């Protein structure tokens, strides 16, 4: 079965079959919590139903306008801020609030479900584990804060704010940790690397949603429900701007992926070569601790590493540049880098492509060492040139051994070993 056929089969599997053990455990626990919460609220009724409905509606709107960040992370800043505000709510105007933690879970889960219905109706299924993490974070804050929300904290705003901030930070830290566990298991990388990626990706978002949630809770005590509009408007504007950035980012990546197929369509390289090299490169980059911005540049460079072959009069047999002469490899890399550099925005990617054929031996001199991304692409390209889409384990092992033998001069030994771990795990990356 080819890599393409395996990808098709993966997409045809039932949604629950694609979940790993961490995702299943998280979703199961949160589902049980929702059942208990809805059952309890149905039995005793809503406390201050008007406030609950308003907050639930805002959570639904936030879920409706949720967005996807680079790296495939689904977020709903407005919904998360509203849910945190409801969990931390002390009063509306002069009227104190007495709702329970289970009511917070019920209102949040119902609001999220309603906000997801339009997405489901048009075939955009939500990320269930991301929704579960958002709900769990709110539930933790609610269960810790609601029991003391109606006590002596009313007259000690310094203590109130300190308690709110501590709980928001703890819930954010837990969300990041759970996301890192799931990501580490999903993309087969070390937990420490996944944790650093999640912190970098979510730190500012957590700070923004947490601060907005606290502002909603505190200001509602004096301004009433008008505070919801006042303090969610800024985050809505920021979300619209970020959504435009995310759309541009996604379009840019899709354009690069499309351009990478030009060499395949022209018969210069084997079908799927660029995608396989990119997949292997990202896997090795993660193994070697590359951050997500660096992984994005690595992906761009890996997808376009063979674009210089379009300048050849006669294609290299099979497109295997590893079998070409060093001078020919250098010429292809130089031409490809020149093409990429003309975009005006991918200078770093062009340099990675330009240095991809440099032997590792020059790395002894730190001033002339090729970038790590170039060394990664050199190894990934050599491996795929010799293995292709074959699933023969003996062939793969023989090629890896060949690369190891050349590691004293041509290939970075650390990169070759990272490739071995990626190949052993067969880490899936959807292209």
- Residue 358 makes CB contacts below 8 A (sequence gap 6+) with 370, 374, 378
| Residue 123, pLDDT score | 86
* pLDDT tens digits, 127-171: 899 999 999 999 999 999 988 876 655 567 677 888 899 999 999
pLDDT confidence band for 9 (50 / 70 / 90): very low
Tokens in use for 132? 């579960």
| Residue 430, pLDDT score | 43
Q: Would you say residue 340 has pLDDT above 50?
A: yes
Distances (CA, A) of 12 to 7, 8, 23, 149: 9, 6, 19, 48
- Asked whether the CA dihedral 316, 322, 323, 329 is positive or negative, the reply is positive
Q: 380: closest CA among 298, 262, 297?
A: 298
* pLDDT tens digits, 298-311: 999 999 888 888 87
Task: Determine how β-strand 73-75 pairs with β-strand 91-92.
Answer: unpaired
Q: Would you say residue 428 has pLDDT above 50?
A: no
Q: 354: closest CA among 366, 364, 341, 367?
A: 341
* pLDDT tens digits, 249-281: 777 778 888 877 887 777 778 888 889 999 999
Domain residue limits, the chain = 3-242, 260-425
Q: What is the CATH number of domain 260-425?
A: 1.10.3210.10
* 95 three-state secondary structure: strand
Average pLDDT over residues 308-315: 78
pLDDT confidence band for 390 (50 / 70 / 90): confident
| Residue 264, pLDDT score | 78
**Exposure b/e, 191-202, CB count within 10 A at least 16 = b:** eebbbebbbebb
Q: Would you say residue 375 has pLDDT above 90?
A: yes
- Residue 52 makes CB contacts below 8 A (sequence gap 6+) with 46, 86, 99, 103, 107
| Residue 426, pLDDT score | 65
Average pLDDT over residues 49-76: 88
pLDDT confidence band for 315 (50 / 70 / 90): confident
CB atoms within 10 A of CB 254: 10
Question: For the residues of 55-74, what is the DSSP string, one character each?
Answer: HHHHHHHHHHT-EEETTTEE
* Exposure of 320 in the CB half-sphere (CA atoms within 13 A): 11
Task: Determine how β-strand 91-92 pairs with β-strand 67-69.
Answer: unpaired
* 114 three-state secondary structure: helix
Least confident among 151-155, 179-183, 375-379, 416-420: 151-155
Q: Would you say residue 1 has pLDDT above 60?
A: no
| Residue 118, pLDDT score | 93
Phi, psi of 293, deg, nearest 5: -60, -40
| Residue 259, pLDDT score | 79
Tokens in use for 372? 């790590």
Least confident among 25-34, 237-246, 413-422: 237-246
| Residue 2, pLDDT score | 45
Tokens in use for 15? 């949604």
Least confident among 27-36, 99-108, 294-303, 405-414: 405-414
Q: Give the rounded percent of residues in the chain with a pLDDT score beyond 90.
A: 32
Least confident among 224-228, 276-280, 287-291, 342-346: 342-346
Phi, psi of 186, deg, nearest 5: -70, -45
- What are 91's strand-pairing partners? 96
Please state whether 272 falls in left (phi above 0), alpha (psi between -120 and 50) or beta.
left
| Residue 150, pLDDT score | 63
* pLDDT tens digits, 199-240: 888 888 888 889 889 988 888 888 888 888 887 877 777 777
- Residue 8 makes CB contacts below 8 A (sequence gap 6+) with none
Please state whether 48 falls in left (phi above 0), alpha (psi between -120 and 50) or beta.
left
Cα-trace Rg, the chain: 26
- Asked whether the CA dihedral 335, 341, 343, 346 is positive or negative, the reply is positive
Between 156 and 32, the higher pLDDT residue: 32
| Class of residue 40 by CB neighbours under 10 A (exposed 0-12, middle 13-18, buried 19+) | middle
Share the mean pLDDT of the chain. 83
**Cα(63)–Cα(208) distance, integer angstroms:** 17
- Residue 41 makes CB contacts below 8 A (sequence gap 6+) with 102, 103, 106
CB atoms within 10 A of CB 428: 16
Tokens in use for 376? 């990664």
Q: Would you say residue 10 has pLDDT above 50?
A: no
């Amino acid at each position: 079965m080819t890599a393409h056929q395996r990808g098709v089969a993966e997409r045809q599997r039932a949604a629950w079959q694609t979940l790993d053990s961490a995702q299943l455990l998280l979703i199961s626990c949160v589902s049980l919590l929702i059942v208990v919460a809805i059952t309890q609220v149905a039995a005793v009724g809503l406390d201050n139903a008007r406030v609950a409905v308003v907050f639930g509606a805002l959570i639904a709107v936030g879920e409706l306008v949720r967005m996807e960040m680079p790296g495939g992370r689904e977020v709903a800043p407005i919904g998360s801020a509203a849910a945190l505000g409801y969990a931390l709510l002390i009063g509306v105007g002069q009227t104190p609030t007495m709702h329970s933690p289970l009511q917070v879970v019920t209102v949040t889960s119902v609001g999220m479900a309603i906000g997801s219905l339009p997405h489901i109706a048009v075939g955009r299924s939500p990320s269930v584990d991301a929704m579960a993490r958002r709900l769990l974070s709110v539930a933790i804050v609610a269960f810790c804060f609601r029991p003391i929300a109606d006590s002596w904290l009313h007259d000690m705003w310094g203590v109130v704010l300190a308690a709110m901030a501590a709980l928001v930070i703890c819930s954010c830290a837990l969300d990041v940790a759970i996301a890192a566990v799931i990501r580490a298991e999903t993309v087969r990388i070390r937990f420490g690397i996944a944790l650093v990626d999640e912190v970098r990706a979510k730190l500012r978002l957590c700070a923004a949603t947490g601060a907005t949630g606290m502002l909603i809770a505190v200001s509602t005590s004096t301004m009433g429900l008008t505070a919801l509009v006042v303090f969610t408007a800024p985050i809505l504007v920021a979300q619209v701007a970020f959504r435009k950035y995310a759309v541009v980012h996604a379009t840019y990546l899709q354009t690069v992926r499309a351009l990478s197929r030009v060499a395949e369509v022209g018969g210069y390289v084997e079908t799927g070569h660029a995608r396989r090299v990119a997949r292997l490169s990202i896997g090795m980059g993660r193994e070697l601790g590359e951050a997500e911005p660096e992984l994005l540049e690595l992906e761009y460079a890996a997808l376009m590493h063979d674009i210089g072959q379009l300048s050849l009069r006669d294609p290299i047999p099979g497109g295997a540049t590893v079998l070409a002469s060093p001078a020919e490899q250098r010429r292809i890399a130089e031409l490809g880098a020149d093409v990429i550099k003309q975009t005006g925005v991918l200078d770093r990617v062009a340099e990675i492509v330009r240095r991809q054929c440099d032997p590792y031996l020059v790395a002894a001199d730190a001033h002339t060492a090729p970038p790590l991304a170039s060394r990664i692409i050199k190894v990934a390209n050599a491996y795929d040139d010799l293995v292709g889409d074959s699933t023969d384990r003996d062939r793969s092992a023989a090629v890896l051994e060949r690369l190891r033998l050349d590691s004293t001069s041509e290939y970075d030994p650390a990169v070759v070993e990272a490739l071995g771990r990626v190949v052993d795990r067969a880490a899936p990356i959807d292209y």
